Structure 1
Amino acid sequence: MSTDQGSGCTAPMTVIPLSGRCAEVVERAEHACFGISPFNSYFSTARIRQLAAWGLRHFERVDFFVPDTPSAFTLEAVGYTPEKAAWKARRQGQYVRNKIAAALGSLGVADTGARVLGWAELEGIAAFSRLHERGLRWYVEEAVFRAVCREATGWVLAGKLSDGQRPGEEQIERAVRYFLAELPLFLDTPAIVGAETSVFCYHQPPDVLRRLYAGELGWRPAAGQGFAVVTPDGPARAAGAAGN
């Protein structure tokens, strides 16, 4: 674990790599990909600005991953029709893009749109499509991986349902497609963005990712892929909610 004390314009950050190899990728400081979840109040414009300021100071390149279209899978699982879910996911995705643009613009970044990796950008990248398809097959074929994905998805869904409700099998099966759409960014962001190394930054990784980076699930992230838990220090660190 390391604590970056920042500078006059950058909030101090606590950075916890998930493994020794992840720590090496953080030290390389080539590329950072910040996960920005739709429907998560943690990611205010001010929070995104904090993360962006730190990332731009430490890394050669910075991008922001927004799983906009896949958010519809979670919405469908909690009862929205596919049409309504798609509409809400689109609207929220644009809202998040606007917040990222505002945060980056306030830091003097000109190419704000080019920094966002949403579904529209990713589905046209061959490396992403290849990893996504392989992840879908892996979910079907590997029982241990399937179980931990479903466990993580069930936990997220339980937080979105009425008190005492537990998600059913069909709900979990639908919502897990959200995580599987994110999976390529946890496995090989370097191949997706054309970098040698990349660290995915998020504030609260589920157990499935800890096990993935520990080598317990049979498919290891690429050699240049890292993951770090990155949180601002101070009272704001505990703000916000988990989940997508």
Structure 2
Amino acid sequence: MSETLLSTTPTRTLDALPLFEALPFSGRCHEIWERGDHLLIGVSPGNSYFSHQRISELVRWGTQFFDSVDIVYADMHVDTQFASFGYTPEHAQRRATKEIKATHRRIQRGVEESGRSGVRVRALSDFLPDPAYQRLHRAVLDALDTDPVFRDATEGMARAFLAARLTEGRSASPAQLAAGVAYIAAELPFFLDTPSLLGVPTSVSCYHIQLPLTPVLFGRDEGLRAVPGQAYAVVRPLPVPQATAA
């Protein structure tokens, strides 16, 4: 399915908006966006895109369109990924802890600087005891074993993620690929059914790029896919207009 460009003109004008464009994946995703119930911003550790300034801008922008905004940051399987690149278990744990803490600080600073109240910030691991999360995560693991289309897309997403850390021309090792897939699998419940996890009527999960799994979870009629109340949208900064010569 093609992306659908959604106008970012707010119905509620509180102040000057940062400039973003929203690209809901499908017509149904567009309808859920228009409802404006809930926006989920997922943040990955070590991703330079998510500076505190960018997070502040996203929060300010998102609260113009949605009744509530949550930020969930990944803090699981980060050490496993470092270990797959040759770090000792102790060093991998230290690097992961440092990266996760730095991510949490950036998020908190960004939310504070946004001036918006009621924005919840939670770690992915906070949801481990939740029966809804456990159910959804089991469904992801089952699909990895039984659904070749889903598995191929997940592995493709993991390879794309790992490519930034690999020397040019090298492919991910089996251990690196397994660590990448485990990291993605832990996040996927929020692409399947955020309403069950956060108690909201409908939800839009957003990221700044289209993901290989998006057509699988939101564009097919069989296999593992998002619930009807779950949407996905690419939300990215608008290009800065180039000055023209006089």
Instruction: Decide which structure has greater helix share.
Output: 1
Of 97, 107, 113, the match for 1:100? 107
| Residues 1:49 and 2:47 are matched in the alignment | no
Please provide the CA RMSD for this pair: 2.0
Asked if 1:4 is matched to 2:15, the reply is no
TM-score w.r.t. the length of structure 2 is 0.87
Quote the residue 2:78 is aligned against. Answer: 71
Aligned twin of 1:159? 164
Answering whether residue 188 of structure 2 is matched by residue 190 of structure 1, we say no
> TM-score of the superposition, structure 1-length normalised?
0.88
Larger RCO, structure (CA 8 Å, separation 6 or more): 1
> For 1:26-45, what per-residue CA distance to the aligned partner results, in whole angstroms no more than 9, with x for missing partners?
11111100011111111111
After superposition, the Cα gap between the structure-2 partners of 1:158 and 1:12, relative to the gap in structure 1 and judged at 3 Å, is closer
Structure 2 partner of 1:239: none
**Could you tell me whether the CA contact under 8 Å between 2:140 and 2:224 is conserved in 1?**
no
Equivalent residues of 1:32, 1:198 under 8 A apart: yes
Shift of 1:110: 5.0
Q: Point out where structure 1 has 5 or more consecutive residues left out of the alignment.
A: 237-244
Give yes or no for contact 1:65–1:117 (8 Å, CA) kept in 2. yes
What SS is found at the alignment partner of 1:4? coil
Q: How many residue pairs are counted as aligned between the two chains? A: 234
Aligned with residue 175 of structure 2, among 161, 170, 178: 170
Task: Say if 1:133 and 1:81 are closer, same or farther in 2 by CA, change over 3 A.
Answer: farther
Q: Which moved more, 1:3-12 or 1:182-191?
A: 3-12
Equivalence for 2:26 = 19
Residue in structure 1 matched with residue 207 of structure 2 by the alignment: 202
Larger Rg: 2
Q: Distance in 1 between matches of 2:52 and 2:110?
A: 6
- Percentage of pairs with the same residue: 33
Aligned-partner Cα distance in 2 for 1:127–1:13:
32
Partner SS, residue 196 of structure 1: coil
TM-superposed deviation, 1:219: 1.4
